[in-house]
Amino acid sequence: MRIEKSGLLIIAMFTLLANNTAKSQTVKYLTQPLVSKIYTADPSAHVFNGKIYIYPSHDIDAGVPENDNGDHFAMRDYHIFSLDSIGATPVDHGVAIDIKDIPWAGRQLWAPDAAYKNGTYYLYFPVKDKQDVFHIGVATSKSPAGPFKAEKEPIAGSYSIDPAVFTDNNGASYMYFGGIWGGQLQRWQNGQYASDGSKTDLHQDEAPAISCRVAKLSSDMKHFEGPVKDAVVVDANGKPLLGKDHDRRFFEGSWMHKFNGKYYFTYSTGDTHFLAYAIGTSPYGPFTYQGTFMKPVQGWTTHHSIIQIKGKWYIFYHDTQLSGKTHLRNVKVTELRHNADGSIEMIDPFGGK
């Protein structure tokens, strides 16, 4: 009897394996992972000195149960990767900074970004402090590949997650930041951290949707210059998108790029898994919603960056092709095309555009 049960178990295991293999073979991805030796996500890409540098999150399997607060995203350090060109093999420059080397940090080193000014490279990172509240820190290096040394305190006035730094043609730099749910942005609606976020979360369907934040950076790139403002996304009639508009409203993962003199604010809709874009005439907005430009990837959501190099535009993003697990992701890249009318061509991560 034991032999029969063991045999049935073995047959069942092989059947499951065969089904999973067949399923994986039927999925056709638009692109393949750039990095496979470690798990990477939330790729912020930049062109420095003619070379592409990618600043991603470093996903690990910390054994933390999955929940809506994102506690299972328990990242502890950053690796920086460089590419000589699109299609080249990425170079892993090792650990750029570890959470233990950030004096004020508690846990969860989430999606970073980077910038350059006056001979110094800046790494911006969200991490929970020792009271479990997200703030944004900054670290510096003389090399785009690091290692980076963190400032002793977070940026004053910063909160939530997903910093994205945009430098305009006149040299002025702006940080876009924020993410709701586990990113805690909904807890800051009145300018102070609310320990009970239930009063300011997404249940206010008829109220304007929670906005991404934007702040001008000081000349030393380590402080906010002036007030933190709302980067408001509006509809074609100039009215703010509402909280119930989950297919269009901002959730997290913002980015800014400039095309033909206009400001393209791009972001994730989070729980509906689209990448959307809105266009404005000022880095502060308001930004008029235009549509989505990437269909949902495999995984809970996506997080992107957009760069131009050698006359072409590219989008860096992530999915879960390697692991099939929400918290163990891999970065990818594909071409992004602007149409003649300024719209962005739709991207299908499963093989078609």
Is residue 42 part of the annotated active site? The answer reads yes
Residues 6+ apart with CB under 8 A from 203: 243
- Helices then strands (H, E): number in the chain? 1, 21
Helix (H, G, I), strand (E, B) or coil at 85: coil
- The token pair that represents 312 in the structure block: 């072409």
Selection from 205, 169, 209 nearest residue 189 by Cα: 209
Selection from 199, 43, 16, 203 nearest residue 112 by Cα: 43
Among 59, 113, 162, 252, the one annotated catalytic: 252
304, 275 Cβ separation under 8 angstroms: yes
Among 42, 59, 162, 319, the one annotated catalytic: 42
55, 78 Cβ separation under 8 angstroms: yes
- The token pair that represents 202 in the structure block: 């997404």
Residue type, 12: A
DSSP one-letter string for 280-292? ESSTT--EEEEEE
265, 242 Cβ separation under 8 angstroms: no
The alpha carbon torsion through 98, 99, 102, 108 (nearest 10 deg) reads: 140
318, 330 Cβ separation under 8 angstroms: yes
Helix (H, G, I), strand (E, B) or coil at 185: helix
Secondary structure of 4-48 in HEC code, one letter for each residue: HHHHHHHHHHHHHHHHHHHHHHHCCCCCCCCCCCCEEEEEEEEEE
Is residue 225 part of the annotated active site? The answer reads no
Integer Cα distance of 274 and 77 in angstroms: 27
- The token pair that represents 201 in the structure block: 């979360």
Give the burial class of 232: count Cβ atoms within 10 A of its Cβ; 0-12 exposed, 13-18 middle, 19 or more buried: buried
Would you please indicate which residues are annotated as catalytic (active-site) residues? 42, 252
